[in-house]
Structures are given as structure tokens and as C-alpha cells.
Chains A and B, each alone.
Chain A
Amino acid sequence: MRISLRERGTSVSPFATSPLRTAMMGVLALAAVVLPFVLSSFVTFQLSMALIYAIAALSIVLLTGMNGQIALGHGAFFGLGAYTTAILVQNHGWHFLLTMPVGALLCFVLGVLIGIPALRLRGAYLAVLTLSVAFLFPLVIKRFNDFTGGSSGMTISQDLLDAPEWSGLSRDRFHYFLALLVLMVLLVLTRNLLRGRTGRAIVGIRDNEIAAITVGIHLPTVKTITFGISAAFAGVAGCLYTVTIAFVSSDAFPVQMSINFLIGAVVGGLYNIYGSIIGGLVLEFLPQYSQSLSPSLTAFVYGAALIVILLVMPGGAAALIGKALDGVGRLVSGRRPGSGESTVAVPVSSEPISSESIRSGDDDPVAPAGSSPP
């Protein structure tokens, strides 16, 4: 435990405190607010989708990156959230904002229910269980097609998704800011969750279950609740998806979607909650460009990126940016590497320790296996 929770200079959050990081945060925040007023409504819509996928990637970062449970079925929770909003808005006349807590709650419950059998499964078995969930979801939707519209889908009347009068915003801008707000809130929630005792429990379980039990962490509770929260995040993303796209169908939530979420999380950075933002951008924009060249290119690029990143840079883009910023920071301030400032944001960005170092009882593991270039 003590080992696993040590701060790691190499994997500091790229957005953690330092003048440079603060400056970058400021620029990004400004851009996030100004962009929808500058860009076309279609690009704004695309940015909204990127934010939604970022929320989905965040749910994977929490469950897989921080807690070590492999999630190959989050497309199902995303879909459940999407259908919750679609059905409540279209068939029952709810306001779409009110459907989000319902979607989150439903997914939380389903997540806990799946998290319980998941307790007994590790590694590949858990991957297969969650993959089956992803595989079954579209089939369940088709089975209950009276209710869901099946594969022909269900369109939500646009006027039901209009921005509220008081906001004074266009529909697309409102959806964008809604997604942005939700993402920010969930990022802050996750950061706070990962700080302190709960965070140590979540990350401690990932690094060494036995050690976690011996320091009194109640494994089943922490794991199932983390599963539930992660599922709820994915569900909320699904609600926002329906709000933004106004159409759901069983074909919109294929197995591939679940795999893509995981890929987005890995590419952005599995061990850094802010990496999910990059993951979301990649998931939305990369297919737009590659698809125009060839329909198979996206899958190819995803697959290749997955392998290369795992081999070369397991920390993903977030780790890369973190390193670059550290480098620039050193140049600017003339400080030596390793002096000060590497003690921020621990569980938020801590990478797992290598299993070798656990086995040999080595007290001073270097960076996680393969994460640091020689």
C-alpha cells in the first residue's frame, strides 16, 4: 500500500498546479466558452459529442484506470442512459434535464448489479463478462421493440429538446454548455472522490488487492460502488447523447462502441482523469477524418494506436503532455528535474506499479512497467 500510493513525478496531471499549467487551464477554459460562439452550429454539435464521449471515457478511467476493473461493456450503460432519456422525453413528456438523474440512477443500479458477479472475476473473465453485456444490449433493445423502436429507432421531437427560454442560447449551444457543465462537474467529483481515503481505497485495490484488504478496505463495497458510479457516468453521457442527437436505435450502440470507449480512455490516458477530455476529442474527430478516406481506417487506427500506446506510452496522451509541460517548465524556470512540484494530485494520476516490484517486495520500484523510455 505504502509503495503503491507514492507520488510519481512522471505522471503528474498535466493540469495540476504550476504557473504553466494554470495558464494552460485558463486558455483552455476560455476557448471552451468562446468556441461555440465562433464556430458553426455543426462544429458546435461535434464538440458536444466530443464532451459526451469524454464523459464516457472518464467512466472508464475511473473503473479501469483507477480501480483496475476491465470495462468492455460500457456502451450498454451509455445506451441505457440514452433510452431512458429518449423514452421519458418522447413518450412521457418529461423535460430532458430531469431525465438525467433517472438515467444515472438506473445505470448506477445496473452497474452495481453487474459489479457483484464481477467481484468474483478478474482479468480476462471480467473482460468477457462485460463484453457479453455489450453484446446483449442491442439484442435486448430489439427484443422490446414495441417500447424502444428496435433497429428502426426512435426519433425525439426537436422542440422537446429546445434550450430553456431563460438561457437565451440556441439549441446547439445550450446542448454544448450542458455537456461541458456535466463534464466539469463529474471531473471535479471524480477528483474529490479520488483524493483522500476513498481514493486510496479505489487505487489501492487496483495495485494490490491483498494489501488493500489487510489495511481494512472492504473490497466488495468499494469495487461494486465504483462500478456503479462508473456506470452512472456512462449513463449520464448516454442521456446527453440523446439530447444532442435526438435519435436512438439498437444499431447505435454496437459492441464496437464499448471497445471504443476503452480505447478513448487508453489513448487519452488511463491514469489521468483529464486524459478523458483528449479521449473524447479523439473518439469524435478521428473517425470524421479517417472515415472519409476509408470506412475501415478508423478501426485500423484505433487498433494500431492501442497497441503502440500500450507498448510505448501506457500513460497515454496525458502522460505525454505532462512530460512536455514539465520539460517546458524546466526550460522556463531553469529548475532541475525532480526538484519540488512533483507532489501534486496523487491518486488522480497515479499509475499502477509493476507486478514485478510487488513480487520481489522491492521497496523502490521505478516507474510503472514500460512507462518511462530508457
Chain B
Amino acid sequence: MTYFLQQVVDGVSTGVIYALLGLAMVLIFRATGIINFAQGELATIAAFFAWQLNLWGLPIWLAIAATAVIGFGAGAAIERVVIRPVANKDHFTLIMVTLGLFMITNAVTGLVWGYTIQAFPDPFPVAAWTVHGVSLSLASVGTIVIVCVVGFLLYQLFHRTRLGLGMRAAISNPESARLSGIDVGRMQMIGWGLAAMVGTLAGALAAPKLFLEPNMMLGVLTYAFAAVIVGGLDSPLGAVVGGLAIGVTENLAGAYLYDFVGNDLKIAVPLALVFGILLVRPQGLFGRRAVARA
């Protein structure tokens, strides 16, 4: 039982990273109706940036915060320069454009920082508690708390502020939003900016576990996709629950199905589950809208 609980706890602490990147994707989907394949790479480049600032002497938390602010601007700029011109194009074009963004971001990261693995400083001090034989590290607890806080703030933003109302109106019915005086383009820019901010956090929290290198987030991206698909692309809560579920499943599969799946394939188990779910409920468990239009 202790062993089982330990696996669940460990699963949760990886799952929150997927949840965080998933939240970023939901933000972009809610703002612009786009699934952003570049989300993971944008998080990676942000992590590198924070790492660089830290290397230049900024304390790590300050470096992450500064990167998050700069990330907001960068995300907004990407929306304005790359996404806006294709906003009315078909789904395929949009996906391909974010794929192009994925490759460019990945390349720029490699160009600037190279492909050697770097150690990212752990933003949390090394400490752990043991509760009924289950060990909880400060890093895990801290990460979980951060994800909860981010989720809570986003919820408040969307449901309790004028800006959030404008953003929701703009995605619900852009035409009527414009006619109500809402600057839809600005809402979309803010959506991308916020997503980049959340993505920065995801990158910075993932980096100490994964080791910093340009392709670090590829696996996380695949999982975050799975998380938002389970949760529903337009549901922030779904992204969190989906992310946690995937982290836990992955860990349990590694613990209990090791003989069969091995270390390499344990990550296939949650993906398989996700596609099972997708076949039964194409709109995800929490999503309201089927995003199946081509």
C-alpha cells in the first residue's frame, strides 16, 4: 500500500508538469482556437533563458519571474506576427504554422545554447517529509502548489474580471464581441502572452527533472497533448485533471507492468488510454465542444 501511494505521489509530481503545459495549450485554444504544437519548444527556450539569467547572477526565482514577463511579450508578439496573418485559414494551415514555429524555436534554442545537456538549478531547496512511509519532496509539493495557484488565478481571471469576460466573449463569438467594443485581436494577443507565461513556468519546473537541452520538452508535449485531450481542449480544470491522471498512470504502469512494458514503453500506457477515451468521447471528459472540425 505504501509502495502504491508512493507511486501515486510520484506520478502526481510529474503529472503537474503535464498539467501546466496543458494549461498553456488550453489558454491558446481558448484565445484563438488553435492547438499549439510549439508550446513545448517555447517552454524550453524560456527555461534556457531563465537558466542564462541565473548564470548571469540573477537568483533563480527572479530569473524565472523575469522570463515569465518577457515570455508574455514574446507570446503576444508571436500571435501578432505569425498567427494573426493566418487566423482565417483552415485547420491544416494553422497546425502547420505552429509546427513551423516548433521547428524554428527548437532551432533557435540549439543555435544559441547548443545541444550539450545543462543542469538547471532546482528552484526548491532539497528537503522531504515522510508521511506514513510515503516520502514527499519539497520540490514536488512546491510544484503542485504552484500549479494549483496558477489554475486558481486563471479561473479567477476568466470568471471574475472584465478582461477575462472579454477574452471569453471574443472566443465565443468574435463578431458580436467586436460589435460590443471588445478588441478581439488584443484578447488573442493576451491569450498567447498568458500561455507563454504559464509555459515558462512549465519549462522552469520541468528543467531540473529533465535536464536542460533543446529537445527536453518533446515527451512532455506529447503528454500535455494527451492531458488536454482527456480533459477537453477548452477546459483548464480538465487539463489539470488530465495531466495528473497521465502522470499517475505512467508511474503505475512503470511500477506494476514493468515486466511487460519495460522502462521505455511505460509512457505508451497513458497514451493508449487517452486514445481509448478519445474514441468514446471525442470532446474529452470535461470539454463541451468537439473540436473535430477539419
Do the two chains touch directly in the complex (Cβ atoms below 8 Å apart)? yes
Nearest chain B CB to A61 CB, angstrom units: 13
Taking CB atoms and an 8 Å cut-off, the chain B residues in 82-135 that contact chain A are 82, 85-86, 89-93, 95-97, 99-111, 115
B282 and A294 contacting across the interface, CB-CB below 8 Å? no
Contacts of A123 in B (CB 8 A): 91-92, 95, 291-294
Which partner residue on chain A sits nearest B38 by CB separation?
A303
Picked from B99, B262, B294, the residue with its CB within 8 Å of the CB of A306 is: B99
B100 and A124 contacting across the interface, CB-CB below 8 Å? no
Task: Using CB atoms and an 8 Å cutoff, list the residues of chain A in contact with chain B.
Answer: 64, 68, 70, 72, 117, 120-125, 127-129, 131-132, 135-136, 139-140, 142-143, 209, 255, 259, 262-263, 266, 294-300, 302-307, 310-311, 314, 352, 354-355, 369-370
Contacts of A121 in B (CB 8 A): 278, 282, 292
In the complex the two chains form, what is the Cα distance from A128 to B229 in whole Å? 9
Nearest first, the 8 closest Cβ-Cβ pairs linking A and B are A303-B103, A300-B107, A303-B104, A306-B100, A296-B110, A124-B35, A299-B107, A123-B91
- Is the CB of B182 closer than 8 A to any CB of chain A? no
In the complex the two chains form, what is the Cα distance from A342 to B93 in whole Å? 27
Contact A369 B89, CB 8 Å, known A121-B292, A122-B294? yes
- Is the CB of B59 closer than 8 A to any CB of chain A? no
Contact A139 B265, CB 8 Å, known A123-B91, A297-B107, A300-B103? yes
Task: Using CB atoms and an 8 Å cutoff, list the residues of chain B in contact with chain A.
Answer: 35, 37, 82, 85-86, 89-93, 95-97, 99-111, 115, 214, 218-219, 222, 225-226, 229, 261-262, 264-265, 267-268, 271, 275, 278-279, 282, 291-294
Q: What's the dominant secondary structure at chain B's contact region?
A: helix
Nearest chain B CB to A283 CB, angstrom units: 13
Contacts of B279 in A (CB 8 A): 117, 120
In the complex the two chains form, what is the Cα distance from A63 to B292 in whole Å? 18
In the complex the two chains form, what is the Cα distance from A276 to B258 in whole Å? 42
Nearest chain B CB to A148 CB, angstrom units: 12
B97 and A307 contacting across the interface, CB-CB below 8 Å? yes
Which partner residue on chain B sits nearest A354 by CB separation?
B90
A131 and B107 contacting across the interface, CB-CB below 8 Å? no
Which partner residue on chain A sits nearest B90 by CB separation?
A355
Question: Which of the listed residues A68, A72, A127 has the most CB atoms from chain B within 10 Å of its own CB?
Answer: A127
Which partner residue on chain A sits nearest B82 by CB separation?
A307
A132 and B271 contacting across the interface, CB-CB below 8 Å? yes
In the complex the two chains form, what is the Cα distance from A68 to B92 in whole Å? 8
In the complex the two chains form, what is the Cα distance from A338 to B108 in whole Å? 44
Question: Which of the listed residues A122, A124, A300 has the most CB atoms from chain B within 10 Å of its own CB?
Answer: A124
B107 and A129 contacting across the interface, CB-CB below 8 Å? no
In the complex the two chains form, what is the Cα distance from A72 to B222 in whole Å? 12
Which partner residue on chain B sits nearest A299 by CB separation?
B107
Picked from A128, A255, A266, the residue with its CB within 8 Å of the CB of B225 is: A128
Contacts of B35 in A (CB 8 A): 124, 127-128
In the complex the two chains form, what is the Cα distance from A355 to B291 in whole Å? 16
In the complex the two chains form, what is the Cα distance from A260 to B105 in whole Å? 15
Nearest chain B CB to A269 CB, angstrom units: 14
Nearest chain A CB to B242 CB, angstrom units: 13
Contacts of A310 in B (CB 8 A): 86, 89, 93, 96-97, 100
Could you write out 18 A-B pairs with CB less than 8 Å apart? A70-B95, A120-B279, A124-B35, A124-B91, A125-B282, A125-B292, A128-B225, A131-B222, A135-B271, A262-B96, A296-B106, A296-B111, A296-B214, A299-B106, A303-B106, A304-B100, A352-B90, A369-B89
Picked from B107, B111, B218, B275, the residue with its CB within 8 Å of the CB of A255 is: B218
A302 and B103 contacting across the interface, CB-CB below 8 Å? yes
Contacts of A298 in B (CB 8 A): 107
In the complex the two chains form, what is the Cα distance from A136 to B272 in whole Å? 10
A140 and B294 contacting across the interface, CB-CB below 8 Å? no
Nearest chain A CB to B254 CB, angstrom units: 13
Question: Which of the listed residues B89, B92, B105 has the most CB atoms from chain A within 10 Å of its own CB?
Answer: B92
Which partner residue on chain A sits nearest B262 by CB separation?
A143
Nearest chain B CB to A265 CB, angstrom units: 10
B115 and A295 contacting across the interface, CB-CB below 8 Å? yes
B282 and A303 contacting across the interface, CB-CB below 8 Å? no
Contacts of B275 in A (CB 8 A): 117, 129, 132
Contacts of B108 in A (CB 8 A): 296, 300
Nearest chain B CB to A310 CB, angstrom units: 5
In the complex the two chains form, what is the Cα distance from A370 to B208 in whole Å? 44
Which partner residue on chain A sits nearest B233 by CB separation?
A124
In the complex the two chains form, what is the Cα distance from A72 to B96 in whole Å? 10
A132 and B222 contacting across the interface, CB-CB below 8 Å? yes
Contact A306 B278, CB 8 Å, known A128-B35, A131-B222, A139-B264? no
A303 and B102 contacting across the interface, CB-CB below 8 Å? yes
B100 and A299 contacting across the interface, CB-CB below 8 Å? no
Contact A299 B110, CB 8 Å, known A125-B292, A306-B97? yes
In the complex the two chains form, what is the Cα distance from A169 to B141 in whole Å? 67
Contacts of A127 in B (CB 8 A): 35, 37, 95
A369 and B90 contacting across the interface, CB-CB below 8 Å? yes
In the complex the two chains form, what is the Cα distance from A355 to B86 in whole Å? 14
Which partner residue on chain A sits nearest B267 by CB separation?
A139
Contacts of B92 in A (CB 8 A): 64, 68, 70, 123
A129 and B278 contacting across the interface, CB-CB below 8 Å? yes
